[in-house]
């Protein structure tokens, strides 16, 4: 046997040895991967497949890790949503029971003749107010569920936000005057064109005005629109009791309660809905507050050139 043949045989043996080692390495790696995948399948989404750069299994490991991470985030989001839903249902049962029981009591008193005359008229007004409060509560509840289940649909179109804002405020004038609330509206005649969903914007502004009227205990409200560079800004300001500084970072969180107990009939979802609707418009909302001086909610949206 010549030297060339010997070298060929040695080379083949080395190749076979190398392939055998790689095969056993891959088999060992495969077994490790299967063990980790079984652990992941059982619910341990913290496990990851490890592979050094250049390893023949690295690309597969990295892709599996990405998938596991994605589903870990999805599961965390589902758990957060489930927790929020349980909190809302608990709040719902607590907050609806009292006004509903009161409403039934008023209706029973009117139907069985317990109250008559002027007192009956007062009962009718009170029962009506309770019914409207419950309607507002359920409206907020259904709106929140639609937004958070991605069932909320938007119809964006270009609109003059000045005109739309004036139309929304006009529906509040009677209530402002009935409550003896001083109101100032600073809206120029110029057009400010924005890409928006008119229904969603109406909900945003109505929620902010309702928040100021019903919960601030203030005597003044100011609503302003103005252009700020490439954006427009809408502000709603009241001179009411204000919001404690420690609560300001949290008031847009669902069901968040400040030191002042949330009034019965208030869903605690209004500001959370506002923030999510504004987010859908690629806008932002901020709040500043000096108790009994000024609490201002500022919305910023991009202006159409």
Question: Which uninterrupted H or E stretch holds 261?
Answer: none
Q: Are residues 119 and 240 in the same domain?
A: no
Q: Are residues 163 and 125 in the same domain?
A: no
Residue in 187, 223, 202 with CA at minimum distance from that of residue 298 = 223
Q: Residue 276 corresponds to which tokens in the numbers above?
A: 């999510």
**How much is the pLDDT for 182?**
93
Task: Please tell me whether the overall predicted TM-score, pTM, comes out greater than 0.85 for this model.
Answer: no
- Residue 183 forms part of a structural domain: yes
Distance CA 9, CA 256 (A): 78
Q: Residue 288 corresponds to which tokens in the numbers above?
A: 């500043």
- Residue 64 forms part of a structural domain: yes
Domain encompassing residue 173: 157-302
8 A C-beta contact, residue 200 and residue 280: yes
What is the total count of domains within the chain? 3
Q: What is the mean pLDDT of each run of 10 residues along the chain (305 residues)?
A: 69 73 67 73 74 74 81 79 72 71 84 82 83 79 79 91 95 91 92 93 93 88 94 94 87 63 56 92 93 92 88
**How much is the pLDDT for 96?**
73
- Residue 107 forms part of a structural domain: yes
**How much is the pLDDT for 98?**
74
Distance CA 258, CA 268 (A): 10
In order, the DSSP letters of 101-134 are: HHHHHHHHHHHTTSS-HHHHHHHHHHHHHHHHHH
8 A C-beta contact, residue 194 and residue 158: yes
- Residue 83 forms part of a structural domain: no
């Amino acid at each position: 046997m010549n030297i060339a043949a010997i070298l060929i045989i040695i080379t083949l043996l080395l190749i076979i040895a190398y392939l055998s080692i790689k095969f056993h390495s891959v088999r060992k790696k495969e077994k490790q991967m299967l063990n980790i995948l079984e652990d992941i399948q059982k619910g341990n989404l913290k496990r990851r497949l490890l592979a050094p750069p250049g390893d023949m299994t690295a690309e597969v490991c990295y892709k599996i890790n990405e998938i596991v991470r994605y589903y870990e985030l999805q599961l965390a989001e589902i758990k957060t949503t489930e927790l929020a839903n349980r909190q809302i249902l608990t709040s719902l049962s607590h907050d609806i029971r009292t006004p509903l029981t009161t409403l039934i009591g008023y209706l029973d008193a009117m139907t069985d003749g317990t109250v008559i005359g002027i007192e009956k008229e007062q009962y009718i007004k009170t029962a009506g107010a309770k019914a409207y409060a419950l309607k507002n509560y359920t409206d907020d509840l259904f709106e929140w569920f639609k937004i958070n289940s991605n069932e909320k649909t938007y119809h964006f179109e270009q609109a003059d936000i000045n005109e739309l804002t004036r139309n929304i405020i006009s529906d509040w004038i009677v209530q402002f005057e009935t409550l003896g609330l001083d109101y100032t509206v600073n809206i120029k005649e110029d057009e400010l064109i924005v890409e928006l969903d008119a229904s969603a914007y109406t909900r945003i502004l109505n929620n902010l005005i309702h928040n100021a009227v019903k919960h601030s205990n203030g005597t003044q409200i100011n609503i302003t629109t103005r252009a700020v560079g490439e954006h427009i800004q809408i502000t709603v300001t009241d001179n009411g009791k204000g919001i404690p500084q420690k609560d300001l970072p949290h008031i847009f969180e669902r069901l968040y309660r400040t030191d002042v107990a949330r009034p019965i009939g208030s869903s605690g979802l209004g500001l959370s809905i506002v923030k999510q609707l504004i987010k859908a418009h690629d806008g932002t909302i901020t709040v500043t507050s000096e108790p009994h001086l000024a609490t201002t909610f500022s919305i910023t949206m991009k202006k159409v050139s």
